Amino acid sequence: MQNASQAALFSLIGNTPLMEVKRIDTGLCQLFLKLESQNPGGSIKDRIGMAMIAAAEADGRLQPGGVVVEATAGNTGIGLALVARIKGYRVVLVVPDKMAVEKVLHLKALGAEIHLTRSDVGKGHPEYYQDYAARLAREIPGAWFADQFNNPANPLAHYSTTGPELWRQSAHDLDAVVVGVGSGGTLAGLTRYFADVQPALEFVLADPKGSILAEYVQTGRLSEVSGSWAVEGIGEDFIPSIADLSRVRAAYTISDEESFQTARLLLREEGILGGSSSGTLLAAALKYCGAQTTPKRVATFVCDTGTRYLTKVYSDGWMFDQGLLARPRLGDL
């Protein structure tokens, strides 16, 4: 049973606004942004935090007094911790050490226990964040491994909420959706939903440079080597089992520099403070729009709030240190 305070928080998750880009040049397209940054935990992952916990409670995998364990770039952890905290579960998270400090501080404030691990190792390595979390879940009594990368409740949350919201808010008139892939849950849920209501809708992948996903979509080739990228939450060095790339019609590879510059453009021109992956998605959407020869209606996401990247994407000093900005302005930190 949920009490009133649980219901109040949960009713704030999802039903995020859809806004039209007005000042940035979108060519022949109308471009819409779904502001997932407006969720109470600040990201699209609140939806799956709530849905995965509800599903695990329903089938008995998560019992009263249990422990929620997850591997997360931060946002899924925040979504899970937000819900778990209210419901009285302990939360143990494994977070790669490249992630923004604001996310880790937010998680700590929520009472989550954080294991930081290496960002520079891949699947199969004992310190790889997903393998590390799976191991903790086996070792901790009463633990339930949320496992967003394999949990069907993840895409189902997008099938049953994100998809219908987008379709309704676009007045049932949408030609393309631009997505990034982290776990692949957003893409899988949306492809399944739009296969039901608008099968002609095109899916476009926005992928950070260094990830293997865009090349796989473009050539069918699975690269053995992945690079590294500073954008958080999207891009992979493997194909997540729930990601359905078969319906993706176009893919764009976006550099960190372009992602961050585009996130800054979004703030300057439209007044929206988005996270690093929002820059990647918007940059890919603008490329897609620029390539159209007929008018299209296109949607993409502001996946999380930029307040958690103020010390990175929005810091001239950090951008300069990374070689992503020519020269810091005088007087900046």
Chain residues that interact with ligand PMP, rule: CB under 6 A: 43, 45, 73, 75-76, 180-186, 232-234, 275, 277, 303-304
Residues 83, 66 contacting (CB under 8 angstroms): no
For ligand PMP, the closer CB: 66 or 194: 194
Cα 127 from Cα 123, distance rounded (Å): 9
For ligand PMP, the closer CB: 49 or 182: 182
For ligand PMP, the closer CB: 210 or 328: 210
Question: What tokens were used for 190?
Answer: 């949306």
| Helix locations, the chain, DSSP H | 4-10, 45-58, 75-87, 101-109, 129-139, 153-157, 163-169, 185-197, 213-219, 256-270, 276-290, 316-321
Tell me if residue 103 is catalytic. Answer: no
Query: Closest approach of Cβ 240 to ligand PMP, in Å?
Result: 7
For ligand PMP, the closer CB: 30 or 186: 186
Query: Closest approach of Cβ 243 to ligand PMP, in Å?
Result: 7
Query: Closest approach of Cβ 234 to ligand PMP, in Å?
Result: 5
Cα 224 from Cα 199, distance rounded (Å): 33
For ligand PMP, the closer CB: 43 or 259: 43
Query: Closest approach of Cβ 33 to ligand PMP, in Å?
Result: 13
Residues 270, 24 contacting (CB under 8 angstroms): yes
Q: Which residues pair with 305 in a beta bridge?
A: 274
For ligand PMP, the closer CB: 165 or 304: 304
Distance separating the N- and C-terminal Cα atoms of the chain: 49
Residues 51, 43 contacting (CB under 8 angstroms): no
Cα 152 from Cα 136, distance rounded (Å): 21
Cα 307 from Cα 9, distance rounded (Å): 21
Query: Closest approach of Cβ 141 to ligand PMP, in Å?
Result: 28
For ligand PMP, the closer CB: 102 or 232: 232
Q: Is the dihedral of CA 312, 315, 321, 324 positive or negative?
A: positive
Given the residues 34, 45, 209, 287, select the one marked as catalytic. 45
Sheet holding 143-145, edge to edge: 113-117, 90-96, 67-71, 143-145
Cα 220 from Cα 234, distance rounded (Å): 19
Query: CA 312, 49, 267: angle at the middle one, nearest 5?
Result: 30
Question: What tokens were used for 121?
Answer: 């190792």
Question: What tokens were used for 77?
Answer: 């952890």
User: What residues are labeled active site?
Assistant: 45
